[in-house]
Amino acid sequence: PSLASSAIDEFLGCLSADIPSRLIQTPATPSYSALLLSTAWNLRYILPDTSKPIGIIAATEHAHVQTTVRCGRRHGVRVRVRSGGHDYEGLSYASVHLHNQAFAVLDLAALRAIHVDQARAEAWVESGATVGELYYAVGAASRSLGFPAGSCPTMGIGGHLSGGGFGSLARKYGLSADNVLDAVVVDADGRLMNRSTMGEDLFWAICGGGGESFGVVLSWKVRLVPVPETVTVFSIIRSRNQSAIELITKWQEIAPVLPQNLYLRVLVLNQRATFQALFLGRCGCLHGLMQDRFPELGMTKQNCQEVSWVQSTVFFGFSTTSIPTEQLLNRSSNPRYYLKAKSDHVQEPIPRDVWESIWTAWLEKPEAALLMLDPYGGLMSSISPSKTPFPHRQGNLYQLQYYSFWYENGTAAAEKRMSWVRGLYKEMEPYVSKNPRAVYVNYRDLDLGTNELDGNVTSYEKARVWGEKYFKGNFKRLAAVKAMVDPDDFFKNEQSIPPLPAAK
């Protein structure tokens, strides 16, 4: 790191005035590695050549976060914020591309209180809580309340809500970010603010504008949504000779226009397509609907599992309903792996012959990634694209994700997997959204471009290359908010939002 060691010492000294030393780990202290690795999800970003933080602050109080931001600013040390560590490109704990700058990690895992107000159907949740912990708390408070968020229970609330939060309730209730009512933020001056003191522009930006750029969100007040006491899930697997390709082709036209209370996604792995559903109702009704709308899938009542909504989150998190909901509380329930993902938005159904050739040329290769097809439509289509920074609303049929994960060490395995993902992504260009080729910010992808400096701050013009893919027309407004709340560009990473230059 380019920072003088005296500046690092001064930064650490500044921290120690307010933060107990046991909460500050440096490369010289015994728990540094364990803390760094505790939630570092992508093994690609903990390799020896990845630059490591000069310190990790395991905040246990809001004041620790304020102190870290103030000391970081005073002594020129960048702060990367980490809630659940699931960033696809390791941006919350590693720095690969950014001018080799010294940085510290502010780890929020210990700030994870959840308070559910059942009567008001609201909850306050701190950023370091996991999505699974929130699901569990909501389920424990009421069988008829839920919260719309993604499928992996170990994701952090902080990063997930910052970027959107898409999951099985999105067609009925939108994203997590669509259901945020208030938030507590530490800004670039170390001040603590809530919605009324931060103002609507900053509040808009933090609900979907991606993590890191605007401040540290400490906690979120969210709206809980009504769900039936009994919901139904199913998982139906089809191979190529069980018409998988015909079913996927048909699914593209059906899934986005199904009633809002039915979410039907497809996962393709090991040459099998798995159709997974959440229906906000009972099996009999779902069966009738499937017979009517998608008889080709051959769904029977035996496919149904009637469960509570919280148990349905176990189903999407662990692909089974037969483990207890307590598993949602297990912060290390999933194995870590090397990861590279890319994603697209599909606006016109992809023809069957294209699926045929993708299947043969790509999916039958041993290094093939998991494909995830996540339907839009329903409420997602009626929310205005500028209501939150997440712009992918009407006009999108589904999101297509190429998600490669592997366990083998070494560059050969990595090269093979990553070039598969990049190769298929290139091949798909004619069939997906254009101008821009749109991407969901929570599926962070540094191949789209990384920030460069323009003087002392991040270049707005250079950042548009990746920024408009994530945010389309909302990118400029995000940059304007950034210029207002963090003009010196303290909160910065490879794809943080740059301040809008005065002339724009």
Q: How far apart are CA 231 and CA 306, in angstroms?
A: 6
Q: How far is the CB of 16 from ligand FDA (least distance, A)?
A: 23
Q: How far is the CB of 361 from ligand FDA (least distance, A)?
A: 27
Q: Which stretch binds ligand FDA (CB under 6 A): 5-13, 211-219, 270-278, 416-424?
A: 211-219
CB burial string 308-329: b at 16+ within 10 A, e below: bbbbbbbbbbbeebeeebeebe
Q: Please, which residues have CB within 8 angstroms of residue 310's CB and are 6 or more apart in sequence? A: 135, 136, 138, 139, 140, 143, 146, 325, 328
Please tell me whether residue 393 binds ligand FDA under the rule CB under 6 A.
no
Please report which helix (H) or strand (E) contains residue 290, including its range.
helix 283-293
- Looking at the Cβ atoms of 128 and 355, the one nearer to ligand FDA is 128
Please tell me whether residue 171 binds ligand FDA under the rule CB under 6 A.
no
Q: How far apart are CA 397 and CA 379, in angstroms?
A: 13
To the nearest 10°, the Cα dihedral for 362, 368, 370, 373?
-10
Please tell me whether residue 104 binds ligand FDA under the rule CB under 6 A.
no
Please tell me whether residue 129 binds ligand FDA under the rule CB under 6 A.
no
Q: Which stretch binds ligand FDA (CB under 6 A): 13-21, 85-93, 273-281, 282-290?
A: 85-93
Residue 272: what are its φ and ψ, rounded to 5°? -130, 140
Please tell me whether residue 442 binds ligand FDA under the rule CB under 6 A.
yes
Please tell me whether residue 80 binds ligand FDA under the rule CB under 6 A.
yes
Please tell me whether residue 156 binds ligand FDA under the rule CB under 6 A.
yes
Q: Which stretch binds ligand FDA (CB under 6 A): 2-10, 140-148, 155-163, 450-458?
A: 155-163
Give the count of residues interacting with ligand FDA (CB under 6 A): 34
Q: Are the CB atoms for 185 and 217 separated by under 8 Å? A: yes
Please tell me whether residue 72 binds ligand FDA under the rule CB under 6 A.
no
Among 8, 108, 138, 183, binds ligand FDA (CB under 6 A): 108
Q: Are the CB atoms for 87 and 159 separated by under 8 Å? A: yes
Please tell me whether residue 166 binds ligand FDA under the rule CB under 6 A.
yes
Q: Which stretch binds ligand FDA (CB under 6 A): 30-38, 157-165, 267-275, 283-291?
A: 157-165
Looking at the DSSP bridge assignments, the partners of residue 262 are 279
The token pair at 143 is: 């069988």
Q: Which residues bind ligand FDA (CB under 6 A)?
A: 41, 80-88, 91-92, 108, 127, 150-152, 155-156, 158-160, 162-167, 211-212, 216-217, 442, 493
